[in-house]
């Protein structure tokens, strides 16, 4: 993980159709739904979840990062049904060079709806406006 020079406070961000927010313990089942789908995870840097315990451990780890104000993922909540449908975060963050890499995952049921385009616009805006990814 990246060495952080500054505390990172993950803000809640709303778009037209989704809410980007911190994960909670209530997200375990929704997380497991998409993280256990081989088609969803085939190109990700982590393995497909084989048990619900993997989702529990992930949520515990993320909640710990939030408590330390470390870089951690946003959960992507679908407004229409309050369901967690994915996550997005800065997987690499280089303040010295004013750059970041974004990683995301989305439940397959929500593919091809323009959701990630909507979300990425807000994350990129946040990176430039709030995290000084430009000189």
Which numeric CATH code is attached to 13-130? Answer: 3.40.630.30
Which tens digit of pLDDT belongs to each residue from 67-98? 998 888 999 999 999 999 999 988 776 666 66
- For residue 99, what pLDDT is reported? 65
Question: Which helix H or strand E contains 84, and what residues bound it?
Answer: strand 83-94
CB 63 within 8 A of CB 23: yes
Which tens digit of pLDDT belongs to each residue from 10-36? 889 999 999 999 999 999 999 999 999
Q: Which of 131, 122, 123, 83 is nearest to 103 (CA)?
A: 123
């Amino acid at each position: 993980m990246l060495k952080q020079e500054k505390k990172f406070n993950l803000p809640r961000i709303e778009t037209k159709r989704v809410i980007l927010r911190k994960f909670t313990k209530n997200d375990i089942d929704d997380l497991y739904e998409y993280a256990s789908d081989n088609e969803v995870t085939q190109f990700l840097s982590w393995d497909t979840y084989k048990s619900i315990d993997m989702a529990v451990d992930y949520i515990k780890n993320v909640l710990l990062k939030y408590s330390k104000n470390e870089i951690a993922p946003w959960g992507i909540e679908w407004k229409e049904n309050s369901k967690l449908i994915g996550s997005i975060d800065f997987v690499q963050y280089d303040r010295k060079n004013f750059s970041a890499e974004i990683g995301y995952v989305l439940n397959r049921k929500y593919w091809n709806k323009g959701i990630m385009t909507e979300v990425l616009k807000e994350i990129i805006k946040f990176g430039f406006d709030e995290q000084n990814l430009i000189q």
